[in-house]
Amino acid sequence: MFLNFSILVRYNFNKERIMVKSKICCTSQDRISQKTSPKWYCCTIETPGGMVPKISTNLTLSDYLGSAMARSSINRKHYHIRPGLYATGNPDKNSFVFVTANYKLTFDHLRKNMKGIDGWILVLDTEGINVWCAAGKGTFGTEELVKQVEQTGIKEIVSHRKLILPQLGAPGVAAHEVKKKTGFTVIYGPVRAADIPLFLTNELQSSGKMREVSFHVLDRLILTPIELAGTLKYCVLLFIFFIIYSWILAGNASFSQVLAKAFHSFLPFLGAVLTGTVIVPVILPFIPGKAFALKGWIGGIIWAAIYLFVIRNTFAWIVIVPYGLLLPALSAFLAMNFTGATSYTSLSGVLHEMKYALPFILVSAGAGISFFIVIAVIQNLV
């Protein structure tokens, strides 16, 4: 699921990609070499616990493109930040300590919202994974937090004993255990980093809205290309299959005729894929039912009807039956996979849904495919 909540990050990431700024925070004398360190790193400040790197709260073009970290990142997908303590502004012993994950986008999101705030940022080693996901896995967890608190010397640097954690880290961190082991009180801050300034003026209280994850049309729309991309490989394979199939049966037709024929065969499936990965997720709340598979199936039935009765203009049962079995099953399956992208599904709920939907989908799709094969064999033999 759980990009689930990093959709929030991604959403903001996209939105703010447009506003690009390029600034460095410090004077040239303490600026460190550009070659070896990322642009957001400004300088170091001296503390009773040792030197702490200071970071910029402005995101630069390279942050957005990820190029600075991409070079030093361990794998292509995740930009890692070195775990440890960082400073924003000019923090002192009374400044707040914010805890975050070492996923570059999460980190960027936090520091950008730290503009004008003198604070400490404690980065945990979550293996380059966002807070919510890492909390589920336990890497954003009690143990790692305790370890970083000990290692960074934060006890010498601040005189208070409070840590502000993103609320979505709570599944991994037991506040009472952190207190027992380190003496620090964990305060869960808002779900969205953008609410941090308000959280601070509210004297470290999150209002109800700040605590809840929401999921809107825009969030769903932003996720659909990801869903679609996941099916791309299979779409290409299917299309190639149809090209080969049409070509074998083509006799002496030209290549463009083969291609056109293959596309005609491919079109209904493409429609079912788009229905399951884009259309159904976007209009999710407006389709009746709770089960994602059911919503996908309804969408698939509508698409099958459009394809058969409008595009193909056919009423022959020999065409209607196999498409009617296969296309909605395909849309249902893809829509069911969208469960992980929303913020309101539970493991038990998905298991409940799968228990009924999966056999139905498999039988329906299997029957549809068998039907196609039988028809193809008969047609080509006769």
Partner 1 sequence: MKQRYFKNVVTLQYNKDNCTGCGMCVEVCPRGVFAMNGKKAIINDRNACIECGACMKNCAFNAISVRPGVGCAYAIIMGRLKGTEPGCGCGDSSSACCG
For binding to partner 1 (CB under 8 A), which residues are involved?
1-7, 9, 75, 77-78, 103, 127-130, 132-133, 135-137, 167-168, 170-176, 188, 191, 206, 208, 211-213, 215, 223, 226-227, 229-230, 285, 290-292, 336-354
Alpha-carbon distances of 184 from 37, 64, 162, 306, rounded to whole Å:
31, 34, 5, 61
Return the number of the residue (53 or 169) whose C-beta is nearest partner 1: 169
Nearer to partner 1 by Cβ, of 133 and 258: the residue is 133
The answer for 75, left when phi > 0, alpha when psi is -120 to 50, beta otherwise, is: beta
Give φ, ψ of 244 to 5 degrees.
-60, -45
Strand order in the sheet with 84-88: 41-47, 50-55, 84-88, 119-124, 96-101, 162-166, 185-189
**Least spacing, CB of residue 58 vs partner 1, in Å:** 24
In the complex, the smallest distance separating the C-beta of residue 200 from partner 1, rounded to whole angstroms, is: 17
DSSP 284: G
- The distance of closest approach from Cβ of residue 7 to partner 1 in the complex, given in angstroms and rounded to an integer, is 8
Closer Cβ to partner 1, 184 or 188, answer by number: 188
Q: Report the distance separating Cα 281 and Cα 338, nearest Å.
A: 7
Q: Give the number of C-alpha atoms closer than 13 A to the C-alpha of residue 83, restricted to the C-beta side.
A: 19
CB of residue 334 to partner 1, shortest distance in Å: 10
* Nearest approach, Cβ of residue 19 and partner 1 (Å): 23
Other Cβ atoms less than 10 A from the Cβ of 18: the count is 7
Least Å from the CB of residue 315 to partner 1: 35
Smallest separation, CB 220 to partner 1 (Å): 10
- Structure token pair of residue 114: 């730290």
Is the CB of 274 or the CB of 336 nearer to partner 1? 336
How far apart (Å, rounded) are the C-alpha atoms in residues 265 and 31?
61
We find the least distance from the C-beta atom of residue 239 to partner 1, in angstroms, to be: 19
200, 115 in Cβ contact below 8 A?
no
Q: Which two tokens stand for residue 185?
A: 């009180």
Half-sphere exposure of 259 (CA within 13 A, CB side): 3
Give whichever of 165 and 272 is closer to partner 1, judged by the CB atom: 165
Q: Which is nearer to partner 1, 297 or 323 (CB)?
A: 297
Give the residue with the Cβ less far from partner 1, 157 or 163: 163
- Alpha carbon distance 263, 281 (integer Å): 25
Smallest separation, CB 59 to partner 1 (Å): 19
Helical pair 317-336 and 255-274, crossing angle rounded to 10 deg? 50
Classify residue 55 as left (phi > 0), alpha (psi -120 to 50) or beta.
Answer: beta
Nearer to partner 1, 52 or 134 (CB): 134
Q: How big is the chain by its Cα radius of gyration, in Å?
A: 27
Of how many residues is the chain composed?
382
Residue nearer to partner 1 on the CB measure, 316 or 351: 351
